[in-house]
Structure 1
Amino acid sequence: MNKLDFSRLAREISPEDRLRYSRLTREQALALSPKEKIRYFFSLQVKHAKLTLVEKRIERCLGPFSEERIIALIGPTGAGKTSFSEYFLGAKLISEDVGLIPFIMVKVPALGPRAVSWSGVYRSILKAGHEPLIEKKRASFVKDGRLQTVQASSKASLLSLRTAIENMLENRGTVLLALDEALHLLRSGDPVVVMDSVKSMADAASCQLLLIGSYDLLELVTSYGQVVRRGGLVYFDRYRSKVMNEKGELVRNEIDIEDFGAAIQKLQRRWPCESHPNFYAAREILLDATLGIFGLLKEFMVGGFKCEAQHNA
C-alpha cells in the first residue's frame, strides 16, 4: 500500500463495522493489519464536551409530548454530526422488538444540477425501513364516495411512495427519521417548495424529523417561518482556542483547550499501536490546526502511524 486514502477508508466504515471494532480488546486492536488499524481508529466514538452538549439539547427536543416536529442539527463539516446520529441516537433509540425500528437514518442523495428527486428520497427511506415490494406500492383515496387506488405503472407514484412511508413509520414504531446531508434537498428547486414538502412530511408522519447539515442549511431553516415555529435548532459547535472577553479582547479559551485535550486523551487510550506521539502535549497546536473540528482531529492523529502502515504494506 503506497498511499492511503484516509477519507475513503472512513466513508467505508459501516455501523456494523463500528460495532465490531468497539468490542475489540487492546490486544486484538494491536494485532490488526495497518489498514484495519486505520479503520478501527476512525470508527472510534468517544464522548467529548461539545458532543455531550448536543446530546442534551437533542434529548430536550425528543419525546412524545414535544411540539418540535422538525429538528435541525447544524454544524461545520467534520464536527461529528453524522457519527453522533448513527452511533449515539441509534443506540439510544433502540427496541428489543425486531419488528420495530425507532430510529431510521438515510443520506439524501446528491443530484447535482437536476431538480430534487423526492422519488429517490422516498425510496431511500423505505429501504432503510426494510419495506418490501417498494415498486408495488399503490396509494388509495376516496373520490365521489368511493375508495379508489392509484393506477398501476412501471414505478410507484410519489403519492404511493409517500403514503407507504407514512404507514411504514407508524407500523415500525419509528420515533425519529433523520435525513443526513439535507442540503442536497435544497441545492436545486424552489427552497420554499422544498421546505413545504419537508413540513408536510413531518405533519403527516407519526414521528419527528431530524435534518442534518452544514451551515448552508441554517439560513433556509431559520428563514422558513413555519419550520422555526414547529421545530428546534441544535448547533454542533467547534472548539475554539480563543474567546472574546468582556472588553472585546481575544483571550485564551481555557475551557475549550482543556476539553479538547481531554478528548485527545480518550483517543490516545485507544491507540492501536504499542507507542504513540504525545498528542496531548500538542493539544493547542492540534486545536488550531483542525479549527477545533473534532472529526478532523482523527485525520491529524492517524498520521502518527501512517509511516508504519506504509512500511508494513
Structure 2
Amino acid sequence: MDAQDFSRLAREISSEDRLRYSRLNRDQVYALSPQEKLRFFFSLQVRHAKLRMVEARLNRCLAPFSEERLIFLVGPTGAGKTSFSEYFLGAELASEEAGKIPFIMIKVPALGPRKIPWSGLYRDMLHAGGEPLIDSKRASFVQDGRLQTVPASQKSALFSLREAVVSMLDNRGTLLVALDEAFHLLRSGDPVVVMDSIKSLADAAPCQFLLIGSYDLLEFVNSYAQIGRRGGLIYFDRYRAKIFDKIGNLVANVKDVEDFGKGIRKLETRWPLESRPDFYAAREILLEATLGIFGLLKEFMMNCLDMQLKNGGKWQKGFIKESLKSAYAINAIREEVEKGEERLTEMGYGCVALSDEKVETLTKLMTGSMPVEE
C-alpha cells in the first residue's frame, strides 16, 4: 500500500467504524472480507508506552490549574500524533450533553506559499462546531449606547468569522482545539506575527489550543518568547535501540526494546488471518528498520497484511522485503529526525535549570524525614 492508500483509508474509516471493529471477536474478524480486514487492522489504535507518556504530559498541560493556553505536540513523521489527537483525545474529552463539543480538531489548510489561511481556518472551526449560516456571520459591538453590526466587506468578514469562532467555542463548552498540520501557518515567513495572532485567539477563547506538527513547529517555540521552554512543548518520542549512559557510553536500551515489543504484541494479536507472521520475534530488527517510529511499524504490518490478503491468505517470505520502506525514504526520515532532536536538545527540552546534584540536594531538603514512595 502506498501513501495515497493509507490516506484514503484514514478518510473512509469513521469513529463509528472503529467502535464497531473494536467489538468484533476473533471469529467475526476472520469472517470479514479482505477489504474489511484491511480496514479493521488499520482502525486499531494501540496505547503503547510512548503514547502513554505523551498522554500524561498533555494531561498536565490540560489540568485546571494550568496556564498553558498554547500547547505544541511535535514528533517525527509517522509517530502517531494525528491518531492520538483524533481518537484518544476525542474519546477522553467526549461529551453526551446535547450541543456540547469539548474537543474540536481540524487540519490547517494550505492556500499558497506566502498566505496564511485564516479565513479557511476559522470556517473549518465553525464547521467542526456545527455552526449554521457561516457566510452570514457578522460581528456586533456597542457604540454610543446602540448595538452596531460590522459591515459585510471582505476585510471585516475575517473579523466577523474570528468573533463567531470565539462565541461558538464558548457556547459549545469546548475545552481543546487541535490544529493538525499547523506548519502551514509558517508560510507567512514571520513566526512571531503568526504566534501573536494565535495567542490573541487563544486569549479570547475559553479553551486551550493544541498545535500538531513536525519539527518545523519548533520555529514557533524558539521565536516566541512567551512560550515556555518546556511547559507548552510535548515531544512524541520514538523508541531507541541504544542510548548514552551517564558517562557517555552507547549502551543497549532494554526498556525501549521491551516496550516496542509490547506494542507489536498488541497489534499482532489482532491479526485478521489465521496464518500470522511472528513480528514480535523480530522486534529488535523492526525497531531498527522503522527508526523506532510506531506509525512506520504499523505501516510495515499493513503492507504485509495487504500482500498476504492478495495472496489468498497465504504467507510468503518475499512479502517482508516488499513491505519495508526504501533506503532513500528511511534515510530522509532519519535525517529529519536527527536534526529535529538536535534542536530539541539545544532548546533544553526535558531538562531543568538545576544540575542533577542540586536537584538531589533539593529533594533531600524538601523530603526530610517524610515517608515517601519512589
TM-score range, shorter chain: over 0.9
> Alpha-carbon deviations, 1:260-295, whole Å to 9, x = none?
000000101111111211100100111011111101
- Equivalent residues in 2 for 1:19-58, closer than 5 Å: 19-58=19-58
* Alignment pair present for 1:99 and 2:99: yes
Task: Please tell me the residue identity of whatever aligns with 2:288.
Answer: D
Quick one: distance in 2 between partners of 1:308 and 1:240? 29
Quick one: distance in 2 between partners of 1:95 and 1:300? 35
Task: Please tell me the residue identity of whatever aligns with 2:162.
Answer: R
> If you compute each CA radius of gyration, which structure gives the higher value, 1 or 2?
2
Quick one: distance in 2 between partners of 1:44 and 1:102? 24
Structure 2 equivalent of residue 187 of structure 1: 187
SS of equivalent residue, structure 2 residue 263: helix
> Which ranges in structure 2 are unaligned for 5 or more consecutive residues?
314-374
> Alpha-carbon deviations, 1:66-85, whole Å to 9, x = none?
21111111111111111111
How far 1:113 sits from its partner (Å)? 1.4
Structure 2 equivalent of residue 8 of structure 1: 7
Pair 1:59–1:229, CA change in 2 (3 A): same
More RCO (CA 8 Å, sep 6+): 1
Quick one: distance in 1 between partners of 2:2 and 2:55? 36
Pair 1:190–1:142, CA change in 2 (3 A): farther
SS of equivalent residue, structure 1 residue 142: strand
Structure 2 equivalent of residue 270 of structure 1: 270
Query: Contact 1:116 / 1:189 at 8 angstroms: preserved in 2?
Result: no
Pair 1:3–1:256, CA change in 2 (3 A): closer
> Which ranges in structure 1 are unaligned for 5 or more consecutive residues?
none
**TM-score between the two structures when normalised by the length of structure 1:** 0.93
Q: Which moved more, 1:79-88 or 1:296-305?
A: 296-305
> Alpha-carbon deviations, 1:120-157, whole Å to 9, x = none?
00000000000111011000123455431111358970
Quick one: distance in 1 between partners of 2:69 and 2:212? 14
* Alignment pair present for 1:138 and 2:138: yes
- Equivalent residues in 2 for 1:1-313, closer than 5 Å: 6-12=5-11, 13-152=13-152, 157-228=157-228, 232-312=232-312
Quick one: distance in 2 between partners of 1:177 and 1:250? 40
Q: Which moved more, 1:228-237 or 1:44-53?
A: 228-237
> Alpha-carbon deviations, 1:149-190, whole Å to 9, x = none?
111358970111111111111100001111111111112342
> Alpha-carbon deviations, 1:42-73, whole Å to 9, x = none?
11011111011111111111133321111111
Q: Which moved more, 1:216-225 or 1:54-63?
A: 216-225
Query: Contact 2:137 / 2:164 at 8 angstroms: preserved in 1?
Result: yes
Quick one: distance in 1 between partners of 2:237 and 2:302? 23
Quick one: distance in 1 between partners of 2:166 and 2:53? 31
Aligned length: 312
Pair 1:104–1:62, CA change in 2 (3 A): same
SS of equivalent residue, structure 1 residue 187: helix
Query: Contact 1:6 / 1:299 at 8 angstroms: preserved in 2?
Result: no
| Aligned residues with identical type, % of pairs | 68
Query: Contact 2:265 / 2:280 at 8 angstroms: preserved in 1?
Result: yes
Q: Which moved more, 1:221-230 or 1:171-180?
A: 221-230
Quick one: distance in 1 between partners of 2:23 and 2:154? 45
The root-mean-square deviation of aligned C-alpha atoms, in Å, is: 2.2
Query: Contact 1:222 / 1:228 at 8 angstroms: preserved in 2?
Result: no
Pair 1:94–1:258, CA change in 2 (3 A): same
